[in-house]
């Protein structure tokens, strides 16, 4: 495994987090850190990634109802569009989760004893700061392992985090969490200490009833007894609040949704016209989930792989691009237990908009 050698002040017997001793040790740590503090420790060859994308996209578009996996939203532009969504007045999720983290990150980290943070679907790592500040207050050699399908946000967010945390080491991993979570073991080392596995932003809601427990079981298999799992969960609430969050006035969510067409055009030699589709996002109260679609505005062929694959879309036909499930404490507990985890803490906003949930691997 490609683990950098660490200048670990604790080996020198210096008490952690202690005033002058800490300042002195910080100097020492910086002075001997000759290796880069940021590295990518794994990723797939472009050809393999494209082949999987072609398989999954063609399979999804060929069955009824037609669909495209949501992970393909996130090229560089898609990641930026999602970042812009987080600032929209209608998109309450990010602010609610941020507020919870500001209030509870210290306690969550303290109770878990975490010295290492793994973040699955880390994106621009907007909310990671609260957790890393709490971890850095406990150890002189914090480790952050962001795992995302998109390399650009890993690189970009690492820049800010490294500047804010002078002894932080970042081991970025590019991969698909549906198939490649085992890559996380390349970013982890026994000496990192107790690890907090975070899955923020309600991204778990983008996985269906089979996918979510399957991912949780994989994460649980990577966790040691003392490790903890922290997941951000969007809650069932007034359907109008949810529907507005996915139908913003500025059309950023519509642009994010349509961006998947340009990803397919570029990566899979597709011929697709963004203007020939409408954005549609509906909240299904019975299923407690948002469904996001692209609606074909006319009868049109959708061609991929330089014309080798041709799918005929009827006028008004929908292609589902994302589900976004909403939970109650009970349904979240059930999902976790199906995924081999036991809920330890449930922390929700006073308005019951969003919750953070801490879990351990079921023994």
- Interacting positions 99-158 with ligand AVI (CB under 6 A): none
Chain positions 219 to 258 lying near ligand AVI, rule: CB under 6 A, are 246, 253, 256
| Residues ≥6 apart with Cβ < 8 Å to 123 | 74, 79, 82, 83, 148, 150, 153, 157, 201
Find the shortest distance in angstroms from Cβ 17 to ligand SAH: 27
> Cα 198 vs. chain centroid, distance in angstroms?
9
Phi-psi region of 352 (alpha: psi -120 to 50; beta: other; left: phi over 0): left
The entry of ligand AVI, ligand SAH, none that residue 74 binds, CB within 5 to 8 Å by partner kind? ligand SAH
**Residue 322 binds: one of ligand AVI, ligand SAH, none (C-beta under 5 to 8 A by kind):** ligand AVI
Name the residue among 309, 267, 303 with its Cα closest to residue 52: 267
Q: Considering only CA atoms, which of 262, 303, 308, 259 is closest in space to residue 61?
A: 303
For ligand SAH, which is the closer residue by CB, 96 or 261? 96
Contact 325, 288 (CB under 8 A): yes
Choice from 14, 26, 99, 178 touching ligand SAH (CB under 6 A): 178
Closer of 149 and 219 to ligand SAH (Cβ)? 149
Contact residue for ligand AVI among 75, 317, 322, 360 (CB under 6 A)? 322
Residues 48-107 that bind ligand AVI (CB under 6 A): 85, 93
Select from ligand SAH, ligand AVI, none the partner in contact with residue 178, using the beta carbon and a kind-dependent cut-off of 5 to 8 Å: ligand SAH
Query: In this chain, which stretch among 43-51, 56-64, 137-145, 148-156 interacts with ligand SAH, using CB under 6 A?
Result: 148-156
Contact region for ligand SAH (CB under 6 A) — 118-126, 269-277, 280-288, 349-357? 118-126
Per-residue binding letters, 252-281, with ligand AVI (x by CB under 6 A): -x--x-------------------------
Question: What is the contact surface with ligand AVI in residues (CB under 6 A)?
Answer: 85, 93, 201-203, 205-206, 246, 253, 256, 322, 324
Question: What is the contact surface with ligand SAH in residues (CB under 6 A)?
Answer: 71, 74, 79, 82, 86, 121-123, 126-127, 148-150, 153, 176-178, 200-201, 203
């Amino acid at each position: 495994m490609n683990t950098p050698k660490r200048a670990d002040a604790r080996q020198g017997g210096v008490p952690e987090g202690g005033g002058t001793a800490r300042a002195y040790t910080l100097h020492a740590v910086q002075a001997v850190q000759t290796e880069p503090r940021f590295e990518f420790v794994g990723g797939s060859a472009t050809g393999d990634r494209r082949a999987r994308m072609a398989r999954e996209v063609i399979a999804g578009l060929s069955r009824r109802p037609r669909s495209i996996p949501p992970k393909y939203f996130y090229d560089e532009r898609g990641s930026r569009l999602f970042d812009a969504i987080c600032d929209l007045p209608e998109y309450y999720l990010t602010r609610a989760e941020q507020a919870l983290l500001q209030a509870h990150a210290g306690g969550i980290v303290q109770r878990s004893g975490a010295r290492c943070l793994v973040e699955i679907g880390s994106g621009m790592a907007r909310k990671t700061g609260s957790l890393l500040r709490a971890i850095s207050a406990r150890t002189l050699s914090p480790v952050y392992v962001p795992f995302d399908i998109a390399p650009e946000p890993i690189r970009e967010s690492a820049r800010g985090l490294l500047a804010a945390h002078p002894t932080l080491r970042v081991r970025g991993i590019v991969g698909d969490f549906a198939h490649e979570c085992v890559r996380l073991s390349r970013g982890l080392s026994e000496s990192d200490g107790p690890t907090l596995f975070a899955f923020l932003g309600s991204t778990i809601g983008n996985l269906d009833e089979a996918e979510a427990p399957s991912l949780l079981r994989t994460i649980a298999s990577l966790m040691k007894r003392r490790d903890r799992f922290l997941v951000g969960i969007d809650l069932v609430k007034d359907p109008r609040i949810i529907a507005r969050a996915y139908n913003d006035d500025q059309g950023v969510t519509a642009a994010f949704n349509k961006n998947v067409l340009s990803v397919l055009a570029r990566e899979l030699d597709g011929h697709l016209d963004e203007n020939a589709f409408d954005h549609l996002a509906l909240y299904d109260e019975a299923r407690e989930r948002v469904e996001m679609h692209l609606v074909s505005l006319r009868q049109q062929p959708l061609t991929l792989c330089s014309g080798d694959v041709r799918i005929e879309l009827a006028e008004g036909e929908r292609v589902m691009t994302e589900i976004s499930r909403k939970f109650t404490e009970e349904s979240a507990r059930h999902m976790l237990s199906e995924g081999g985890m036991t809920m330890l803490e449930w922390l929700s906003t006073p308005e019951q908009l969003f919750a953070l949930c801490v879990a351990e691997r079921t023994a």
